[in-house]
Every structure is written in structure tokens, then in C-alpha cells.
Amino acid sequence: MAKNSNLKPFSFLLLLIVLTTTLFAGTNTLKRVEVKKNELRLVFSSWLNTKDVRRIALKNPPRQVIDIKNARLGSRSIASGLSAKGVNSFRVSQYQKNVVRIVIETDESYVCNHYQPMMSRSFYHIPLPQKNVYMASEAESEAMAYAKKEARKIEKQPQERRKTQRVIQREEKIQEEVSYIPSFLASGSRGPKKSYTIVVDAGHGGHDSGAVGARRYQEKVVVLQIAKRVEKHLKKKRFKVKMTRSSDKFIKLKNRTKFANKHQADIFVSIHANAIADKRRFNKVSGIETYFLQTTRSARSKRIAAIENSVVLDKNDFLSKDVILNAVLSGPKIQLSHKLAIDVQSKMLRNVRKKYKNVKDAGVRPAPFWVLVGAQMPSILVEVGYITNSAERARLFTPAYQDRIAKGIAEGISNYLAIREKEIY
């Protein structure tokens, strides 16, 4: 009897633990809130599902309101003592039983691309106004200053003159220069400290040959060759690499990012080769360029995206694509994808120009590429060159040149992740 009576308290304790676990299952605790590197950084007790985060921008006064479902406060005074330039007040409260609300009241409205850092899924970062945590290089600053100067010149012109076709074209060029940031050669980096998963996507494949140059040179072939070399260089840097395709097979665009999401990838990079339709300009147009998902006024970017998208989008897709694009373009990964594109573009150019001095820098540009829609991680599309340009085509099908491109992509990814680690830690 004594033996059985000793088991009763233990059984009751075990039952209590089970009930407590069940009661709080799915509820995340906000443990800490701090201002660091001009961001409001939230630290949770466990992995935060980004689908539980909802943001609303309000006016009069300007406020960013962020609601986080399935969350509770670790302390009522968690936001006490917080301050930042341009911010009038921070308010953190248990808005509902399972909803934490964060209100950031600012002097002026601003674009707030909040995001979840790749290094820790239990963190969530909300950028604050004014200061940019990703410091511009000298080249970037000069480009921005030039664009603003030209824009001021246009503003001073008479209204009638501004509406001429010449000035309209000039305005569009300036707008493109503002959104385009030149290649950024970051300081030397030994690479990130943590291990990351990279998904490398070789464009096209199977019945979809992609762009074709001089009849027998196919985009699907050269991009797969480069993608395999990127895989090799990334593995040398101890990254985990997943390939959307390693052979000549066709994969639907939606399944490419779905594959990346399934493997919880930290980076998605899609590799393509460019082309133009005007035969008279085949040997006049060349260059390496890197794209991130975003709307654009640039006719060039729209044209290139339309070519890539047309292969896989049917009429129904085109009817709904604008709605879907608008839903994802304001996501927190856009800003990170832009930074990733800058690093990859600069590293590619640095590698190929060691031997091929005349390779053109076609820039980092925004464009609505369908293959990047749906990616839950920073994602970019690299156009490694023009297959319709005879000189560039010859280089693209040369193993040594492919290796320089691939090494540059791998170094760019590594550099980006190392910088992100420094920004966060």
C-alpha cells in the first residue's frame, strides 16, 4: 500500500505537466524588446511563424502597428525605456488574449520592411526611420547624389517644357538610376560563421530551351553548367546546397520556390542567360546583371521579365499575376534580396574582370520575375550574359569563364550572409 501511495503524487505531477504543456502549446512568449542598429528587435521563446505577423500603417500621427498572433508578453514593462531618433513612442501590449500589439509612433511616415532574420527564427526585426543599417558604398552615394541633383533640375523647369518627350525620358532614366545601386565591393570577409542552406536554380530545362543563340547554343544548357559549378564552390565554403534540377528536365516555376521553401533554404538564386530579339543589335548589347523581385518603370527590366515569364504563364496566370505580385512585393524579403543582389553582382564582376576586362556591368535591377514569387527567403535572378552576343556567347560556353561566374555568385552569397551576421550580432 505504501508503495502505491508514493506513486500518486508522481502521477498527479505528471498529469499537471501534460495539461500545462497542452494549455500553452502554440503560444510564443515575447521575451525581450530592444533598439539595436536602428531596428526594433523582438526576441521570442521559440520559432516565430511569419504568417502570424500583420502590419498596418496609420496616419495622424504616423504609426506602424504590428500585431503578432499566438503570442504573449513575458513582462508588462518589456518596452520601458526604449527610445530612437525619429520615434515619438514605443507601445507594446497584450492587445488580445493571444495577440501582442506593437505600436511605433514616428515624426514622419516611412517604409517599414519588417523581416525575420535568417540566423535566428525566434527573432523578428522592425526597421526604424532615418538611418539605414546597410551602409552605402562611395559609388552608391555618388549615384544617389547625382540622381537627386538631376531631379531638382527637372523640378525647376517650366511645366510645359517638362512634358516634352525628351524630358519624360530623362525622368525615367533618373528614376531607374535611383532604384539601381551600382556594384558594391564589400571589404574582405572570411564568410559567415553559421551553416546555411542555398537553393541553386538552373533556369528552363526539358522542352523549354530558353534563349537560343546561333541555333545550337541553348540557355538551358549553359545555365545548368554554371549552376553545377556554383554548387561546387558553395560546398567548398561548407554550405548545404540543393539543386532544383541537376539534369535536362523541365520544372514549373511555382515548384522551384516551393522546393526552396520545403528545404527551409536561406537563399534562393535562379540562373539564366539573356537575349534580345533585334538582330541588328545582337553584338551591341551585352553584360551581366542581377535582379530582385520588385515592380519597375524600366522598359528594359519589364521586357526581360516578360520573356522569362511568358514561357510558363498561361492566360489565367497573366490575369491574376498582378494581384499576386502586389501581395508579395511589399514583403520583408524584398530589401534583403536587394542587398543580396548587390553583393552577388559585385563579386561576379570582380572575378570575371580579372581576366576579361571588357565585361559590362549591366547593374542590379528590380523586375517582376515570376520565378521569384513565393520564395520565403531572400531571392535573386542572375542573368549571366547575352547568348545573342557572339563574343559573350563564346565566353559563356567556356569552362574557365563559367567557373569565374560561379565563383563570383558563391562569394557574393557568402559575403552577404557574413554581413547579415555582423548586422544582427
For strand 197-202 and strand 267-274, is the pairing parallel, antiparallel, or unpaired?
A: parallel
Q: Indicate the pairing of strand 123-127 with strand 197-202.
A: unpaired
pLDDT of residue 358: 92
Rounded to whole angstroms, the Cα distance separating 46 from 55 reads: 21
Q: How far apart are CA 338 and CA 292, in angstroms?
A: 6
Extract the C-alpha cell encoding 260.
526552396
Find the angle CA(279)-CA(285)-CA(286) to the nearest 5 degrees: 130
Would you say 223 and 210 are in contact if contact means Cβ atoms under 8 Å apart? yes
**Gap between the Cα atoms of 419 and 343, Å rounded:** 10
Which residue, among 300, 2, 303, 55, has the nearest Cα to 179 in the 3D structure?
A: 300
| CA separation for the pair 382, 274 (Å, rounded) | 9
Task: Name the stretches of the chain with pLDDT < 50.
Answer: 1-3, 5, 13, 16-25, 131-144, 146-148, 150-151, 154, 160-188, 296-297, 311-332
The CA R_g of the chain, rounded to the nearest whole Å, is 25
User: Rounded to an integer, what distance in angstroms lies between the CA atom of residue 256 and that of residue 262?
Assistant: 10
Answer yes or no: are the C-beta atoms of 147 and 174 closer than 8 Å.
yes
Distance of alpha carbon 257 from alpha carbon 371, whole angstroms: 7
CB 297 within 8 A of CB 176: yes
Contact yes or no for 259/244 (Cβ under 8 A):
yes
**Of 286, 411, 358, which is closest to residue 403 (Cα–Cα)?**
411
Distance CA 70, CA 124 (A): 14
pLDDT score recorded for residue 348: 96
Query: How far, in Å, CA of 19 to CA of 16, rounded?
Result: 5
Taking the C-alpha atoms of residue 325 and residue 345, their distance in angstroms, rounded to an integer, is: 24
Q: Which residues pair with 44 in a beta bridge?
A: 30
CB 361 within 8 A of CB 139: no
| pLDDT for residue 334 | 74
Chain segment 318-359, per-residue pLDDT in tens: 333 443 344 334 444 777 888 899 999 999 999 999 999 999
Beta bridge partners of 121: none
Q: What is the DSSP letter of 374?
A: T
DSSP string over 171-194: HHHHHHHHH------PPP----SS
Q: How long is the chain?
A: 425
Do the Cβ atoms of 124 and 69 come closer than 8 Å?
no
Q: pLDDT by residue (tens digit) across 90-144?
A: 999 999 999 999 999 998 888 787 888 766 778 899 989 864 333 333 434 444 4
237-255 residues labelled b (16+ CB within 10 A) or e (exposed): bebebbbbbeeeeebebee
Three-state SS across 193-228?
CCCCEEEEEECCECCECCCEECCCEEHHHHHHHHHH
Contacts of 282 (CB under 8 A, 6+ apart): 276, 388, 389, 390
What was the pLDDT predicted at 156?
A: 55
Q: What is the pLDDT of residue 346?
A: 93
